[in-house]
């Protein structure tokens, strides 16, 4: 029982979404509960994801990628989230953060070295957050020092998605603290680099199969050729990449909401009380009809932001609105679906409680809801001042 998104989708986009969703149901679905219980992604599932082409959606075919679009990347994130938001965020970070950054800011040699690997075998991670820098992202303390033909990085990162699986990390460090945020520089750090260690994996409430790890840099040596972009423009790379990443998280939250809703509707049509399916009671109908409207509204906001980004038009406000609203809808939908299941919704035998746990992170990562509201408010002020 499901409602597949048809709004604003061309035939090829709808076919792509359907193909990813079918793959997720058959290949990921049987492992979801066990991965959640273990708090670990099964790495044997990675070759299938690469084979499907969803780990390099925007990478040009000349580099071994799918040569597709940002919009399709968002569709893939949405489709996987219907089945498992943990796998969805793995795909999301790979495409909307890591690959996006390398394609936009990498030089020819970096693209030749990293894009084929990211398309075929390597998972990527995006390392910005630190103990002292969450919402205040540019308060990071990780230091990069130039020594000859190498950079040496010291410090640590926290809450890094894909940390356990990644082979390459986009690491933000400050190369000149006297310049403040204008000293921040992005580096391509490979797992095997000397002085680099992936540390503790967090034991989380939700999206438990998605690894969230600590990174430790102790005189980590990085070739000078691995500076992404230029020295001192890491802040710009971070801002622009995360702006686009918000759309991906919005897509994840839409898929999560749809997955919870699909499961609840199936149950309500089968579960009978007082001689009829509980879905027939008006009190239930009004509730799930409202949720359906909310999910579709969130989907349209995400699709609109993705279309704007793809068209090269301003999308910052739309991305913030999409991420804000989709995360609210996901949490509300997942919570209500637990109640639709009644007592069994509170057990791990049914999927509602997992969607409920998974939903909470949507209001936190890649910019909290308050940060989205602040962004929206600033842009509104600017727009209205411009209008006079």
What is the C-alpha separation between 120 and 48, in angstroms, rounded?
10
Which parts of 162-271 are beta strand (E)?
166-174, 184-190, 196-201, 212-223, 227-228
Instruction: Give the bridge partners for 296, in sequence order.
Output: none
Q: Which of 78, 165, 366, 383 is catalytic?
A: 366
Task: Pull the structure tokens for residue 266.
Answer: 């199936």
Catalytic annotation on 366?
yes
What phi, psi does 6 have (nearest 5°)? Answer: -115, -20
What is the C-alpha separation between 156 and 128, in angstroms, rounded?
10
Cα-Cα-Cα-Cα torsion 332, 333, 334, 340, nearest 10 degrees, comes to 120
Q: Do 195 and 217 contact (CB within 8 A), yes or no?
A: yes
If 0-12 CB within 10 Å is exposed, 13-18 middle and 19+ buried, where does residue 15 land?
A: exposed
Instruction: Give the bridge partners for 104, in sequence order.
Output: none
CB contact burial 327-365 (16+ within 10 A = b; e otherwise): bbbbbbbbbbbbebbeeebeeeebbbbbbbbbbbbbbeb
Q: Do 41 and 87 contact (CB within 8 A), yes or no?
A: yes
Q: Is the dihedral of CA 114, 119, 123, 124 positive or negative?
A: positive
What is the C-alpha separation between 51 and 14, in angstroms, rounded?
20
For residue 146, how many other CB atoms are within 10 A of its CB?
14
Instruction: Give the bridge partners for 196, in sequence order.
Output: 217
If 0-12 CB within 10 Å is exposed, 13-18 middle and 19+ buried, where does residue 132 land?
A: exposed
What is the C-alpha separation between 208 and 263, in angstroms, rounded?
20
Q: Do 263 and 351 contact (CB within 8 A), yes or no?
A: yes
Instruction: Give the bridge partners for 146, in sequence order.
Output: 151
* Residues forming the active site: 366
């Amino acid at each position: 029982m499901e409602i597949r998104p048809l709004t604003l989708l061309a035939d090829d986009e709808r076919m792509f979404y359907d193909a990813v969703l079918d793959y997720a149901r058959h290949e990921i679905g049987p492992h979801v509960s066990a991965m959640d219980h273990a708090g670990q992604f099964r790495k044997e599932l990675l070759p299938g994801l690469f084979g499907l082409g969803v780990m390099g959606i925007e990478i040009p075919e000349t580099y071994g990628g799918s040569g597709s679009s940002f919009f399709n990347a968002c569709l893939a994130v949405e489709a996987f989230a219907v089945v498992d938001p943990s796998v969805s965020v793995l795909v999301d970070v790979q495409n909307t953060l890591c690959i996006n950054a390398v394609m936009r800011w990498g030089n020819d040699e970096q693209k030749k070295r990293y894009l084929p690997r990211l398309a075929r075998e390597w998972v990527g991670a995006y390392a910005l957050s630190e103990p002292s820098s969450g919402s205040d992202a540019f308060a990071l303390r990780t230091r990069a020092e130039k020594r000859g033909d190498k950079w040496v990085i010291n410090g640590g990162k926290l809450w890094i998605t894909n940390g356990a699986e990644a082979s390459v990390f986009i690491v933000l460090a400050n190369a000149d603290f006297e310049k403040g945020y204008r000293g921040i520089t992005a580096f391509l750090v490979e797992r095997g680099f000397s002085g680099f260690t992936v540390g503790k994996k967090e034991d989380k409430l939700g999206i438990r199969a998605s690894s969230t790890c600590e990174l430790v840099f102790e005189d980590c040596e990085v070739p000078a050729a691995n500076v992404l972009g230029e020295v001192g423009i890491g802040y710009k790379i971070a801002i622009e990449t995360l702006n686009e990443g918000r759309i991906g998280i919005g897509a994840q939250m839409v898929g999560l909401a749809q997955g919870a809703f699909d499961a609840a509707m199936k149950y309500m049509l089968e579960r009978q009380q007082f001689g009829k399916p509980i879905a027939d009671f008006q009190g239930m109908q009004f509730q799930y009809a409202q949720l359906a409207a909310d999910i579709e509204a969130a989907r349209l906001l995400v699709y609109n932001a993705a279309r704007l980004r793809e068209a090269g038009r301003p999308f910052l406000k739309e991305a913030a609105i999409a991420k804000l609203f989709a995360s609210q809808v996901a949490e509300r939908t997942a919570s209500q679906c637990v109640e639709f299941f009644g007592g069994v919704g509170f057990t791990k035998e049914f999927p509602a409680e997992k969607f409920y746990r998974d939903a909470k992170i949507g209001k936190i990562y890649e910019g909290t809801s308050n940060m989205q509201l602040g962004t929206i408010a600033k842009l509104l002020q600017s727009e209205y001042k411009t209008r006079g």
